[in-house]
Amino acid sequence: MKKSLVLLCVLCMLTAPAFSGVVKKTRSEITFKGFGRFSTSQSEKLVPQKHWVDSRNDFKGKGLLGGLAGKTVLRSGDFGEITDLPALSVSRLDPKKKEYTVSPIKKLSEEMKGEEKEVEKPAAEKPAESDVKIVKSEFKVEETGESQTINSFQATKYVITWVVEWENVRTGEKGTNSLESVVWATPYTDVIVKAQEEEQKYFRAYMKAIGLDQDKIQQDVLGTNWMSMLDGMNAAKGRPGVSGSIAKGSGEMKKIKGYPVLIDGKYSVVSDRPQGAAGEERPKGLLGGLAKKVLKKKPSEEEAKEPTLTYHIEVLEISLADLADADFQVPADYKKKG
C-alpha cells in the first residue's frame, strides 16, 4: 500500500503541469527632469501567459508633481504584482501588510477614456488633423567595436541616435526631440535565446491585451515606456509624442547583435517656444491641473541643459526554470483587500 502511494505521488509530480519559464533580475534608474528620480530592483518570473514581479522601489520627487507621483504611480517601498493574461487580471501585493488587490486588465483606450471624460463628438465628425509637422527624422545604430564584461555577461557596445525635428504649424513653435541610447549586448546562448522567446511570447500577449503592438527589446532600448509616461506628465502639448518615427528605425535595430544587458539612454526636447506660452494646449486631469501651476516657473540655466529623461537598465541575472501555476499564486497568508 505504501509503495503504491509513493508511486502515485511520483507519478503526480511527473505529470503536474509545468512550463518552460524565465527567471530574471534587473536594476533600473530613471530620472525625469525637474520631476524626480525613480530607482527599482526587480526579480521576475514568467511564462507566456503569466508574470510575477517583486520590486523594491525608491522615488525621490521634486516639486508638486513629483510629490503627487510619489503617492500614486511611482510609490517607494516593496511591492509584488501578478499578471494573469487568461484571467485578464492583475493582483497587486503589499508584502508589508500582507494584503493584495485584484483589478482587471483594460485596453489603454479604455483607461484613457476613464481618466479624461471628453465630450462625445458627432459620429460624422472627422478627427482633427495634427498641428505637428515632422520636418526631419533620422534614426541610426552604430556598432562601436568596444567590448567588456558586465554582470558576468561578455558584451559589445552599440550607440543608437534618433533625432526628430518638428514644427507646430498652428503656434509656430519649432523644436527637436533627440535620443541617444548606449546598448551593451551579449551574444545569444541557448539559454538567452529560449529566455527571449518566452519573454516575447508574454510581452506580445500582454501588449495585445492592452491594445498596443510593440517589441519588448525595442521598448527597453529606446525607453519608449518611460517616454510615454513622461508625455502623460508633461505639461507642454502641441508637440510630437514618442511613437511617430519608431517604425522607421526597425531596420536599423537589427544591427544590434545579441541580447541587451545594459542600457543607458538620454532623451531631450529642445524648443524655441517656452512652456506655458499663450495658445499652448494643456493636458486635462489631475496631473495636468497641477502641471499648469508649475508651468509659471522658468527653469534655471543649469536645468535647461539637463536631458528631459535619462534611464539606466541592467540585467543582473537571467535563467530558465520549470514554472507551474503554483508559482503565480497569491501567498496563502495574504488577505484580499477591497
Angle, CA 97 vertex, CA 226 and CA 95 arms, to 5°? 50
d(CA 231, CA 259): 28
Tell me the pLDDT of the chain (338 aa) as tens digits.
444 433 333 333 333 444 579 999 999 999 988 889 999 999 999 999 999 999 999 999 887 777 777 777 788 999 999 999 999 999 999 999 999 999 999 876 555 454 444 444 455 555 567 788 889 989 999 999 999 999 999 999 999 999 989 998 888 899 998 999 999 999 999 999 999 999 989 988 988 888 766 666 666 777 766 666 666 555 445 566 554 455 556 678 889 999 999 999 999 988 886 454 444 444 444 444 444 444 445 556 666 678 989 999 999 999 999 999 999 999 999 999 97
Q: Quote the pTM value.
A: 0.76
H helix runs in the chain, sequence order? 2-15, 63-71, 108-115, 190-209, 216-222, 224-233, 250-253, 285-294, 301-305
d(CA 78, CA 89): 20
Look at residue 106 in the predicted model and tell me its pLDDT. Answer: 83
Look at residue 75 in the predicted model and tell me its pLDDT. Answer: 87
d(CA 101, CA 79): 12
Look at residue 87 in the predicted model and tell me its pLDDT. Answer: 95
Look at residue 331 in the predicted model and tell me its pLDDT. Answer: 96
Q: What is the pairing mode between strands 335-336 and 99-104?
A: parallel
Instruction: Note whether 202 and 328 are within 8 A (CB).
Output: no
Rg value, the chain, Cα: 23
d(CA 163, CA 139): 7
